[in-house]
Amino acid sequence: MSDLRDLYQEVILDHQRHPRNFRVLADATRLQEGYNPLCGDRLILYIKLRDNRIEDIAFQGSGCAISTASASVMTETVKGKTIEEAEALFHAFHELVTGQESSEAKHLPRPALGKLAVFSGVREFPVRVKCATLAWHTLHAALQGRDETVSTE
C-alpha cells in the first residue's frame, strides 16, 4: 500500500510542478473563476466548446499542490469529452474525494476515473477536499453557464 501512496504522491507533485494546460485560452467560449478562501487557491478556467464537446480547456491561477494538480489532471481528463461526460466525471470525482454520492449522479453513467484515482487519499484529509474540488466545481459552473465566481465556502 505504501508503494501505491508513493506513486500517487509523485503523480500529484509532478502535476503541481509541471501543470498541464496552464495557459490562457484566447478563443475560449466559457470563462469561469474559482476561489477557495480557506486555502487562498484561485483559478480561472477557460473552456472552448464546440458541438457539445470540450474541444480545449486551460487554466491559470495560484494554489496549493492539491489544487493545482487537481486542475491539471482535470483538464487532461475532460479535454475531448462531451458536456455530459464531463458532468459525469465531476460527480464521480466528487464522490471519490468525499465518499458521498450526489443525488444528480444517480442517473449518470459511472465513468472510469483513470488517473483521477490518485486523489482518493484526499478523503482522509477533509480540509483538503475543497482544494481538490475547486477546479471541478469551477468546471461544473462553467458548463452550466453560470456567471458568478465559484467559491468552495
pLDDT bracket for residue 9 (50, 70, 90): confident
C-alpha cell at 113: 476515473
Q: What is the DSSP string of 17-68?
A: HS-TTBS--TT-SEEEEEEETTTTEEEEEEEEEETTEEEEEEEEEE--HHHH
CA of 109: how far to CAs of 5, 57, 96, 105, 144, in Å? 28, 23, 15, 8, 19
Residue 15 has pLDDT above 90, yes or no: yes
35, 74, 68, 119 alpha-carbon torsion, rounded to 10°: 110
Choose the CATH number for 2-143 among 3.30.70.980, 3.90.1010.10, 3.50.50.60, 3.90.470.20: 3.90.1010.10
Among residues of the chain, what percentage have pLDDT more than 90? 76
Dist CA 147 CA 94 (whole Å): 22
Q: Which residue bears the cell 474540488? A: 133
Structure pTM? 0.91
Q: Where are the domains of the chain?
A: 2-143
Q: Which tens digit of pLDDT belongs to each residue from 121-143? A: 999 999 999 999 999 999 999 99
Average pLDDT of the chain?
91
14-19-21 Cα angle (round to 5): 145
128: left (phi over 0), alpha (psi -120 to 50) or beta: alpha
Q: Which tens digit of pLDDT belongs to each residue from 82-124? A: 999 999 999 999 999 998 877 666 666 677 888 899 999 999 9
